[in-house]
């Protein structure tokens, strides 16, 4: 358990644990401001293995989501695309004449089209 600051507030990266004290924000969460606030969850389609995170930059798109720089969000990989790792990257298109379902996480899911 982290200690509260001199003014009794939790530091950034630490959230209130129900009034007992301050705890480091767990995986998949962050807290930007100093104060007795709860830790915020990573955005939909993203995650983080870091703890005590002080901003959402630690949250990276899951393997089946791609990063959209236009609105800094993670979107599901569409049909005929896949992404293998947690990172703020785009999904990869399946090889020519093959396809995959949405949210594919492996090249092996890309199967040859009929015909």
- Give, in order, the Cα–Cα distances in Å from 25 to each of 8, 19, 97, 107: 17, 15, 45, 34
pLDDT of residue 7: 47
pLDDT mean over 14-33: 76
pLDDT of residue 23: 80
pLDDT digits (tens, 9 = 90+) for 3-12: 444 445 677 6
pLDDT digits (tens, 9 = 90+) for 88-107: 999 999 999 999 999 999 99
pLDDT digits (tens, 9 = 90+) for 30-77: 888 877 778 899 999 999 999 888 888 999 999 999 999 999 999 999
Q: Where are the domains of the chain?
A: 14-56, 65-107
pLDDT of residue 3: 46
More confident residue, 85 or 34: 85
83: pLDDT strictly greater than 80? yes
């Amino acid at each position: 358990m982290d200690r509260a600051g001199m003014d009794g507030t939790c530091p950034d990266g630490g959230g209130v644990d129900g009034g007992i004290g301050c705890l480091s924000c767990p995986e998949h969460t962050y807290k930007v401001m100093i104060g007795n606030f709860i830790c915020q969850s990573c955005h939909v389609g993203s995650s983080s293995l870091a703890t005590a995170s002080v901003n959402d930059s630690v949250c990276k798109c899951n393997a089946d989501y791609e990063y959209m720089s236009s609105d800094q969000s993670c979107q599901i990989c569409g049909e005929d695309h896949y992404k293998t790792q947690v990172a703020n990257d785009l999904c990869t298109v399946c090889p020519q004449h093959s396809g995959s379902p949405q949210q594919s996480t492996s090249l092996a899911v890309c199967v040859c089209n009929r015909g």
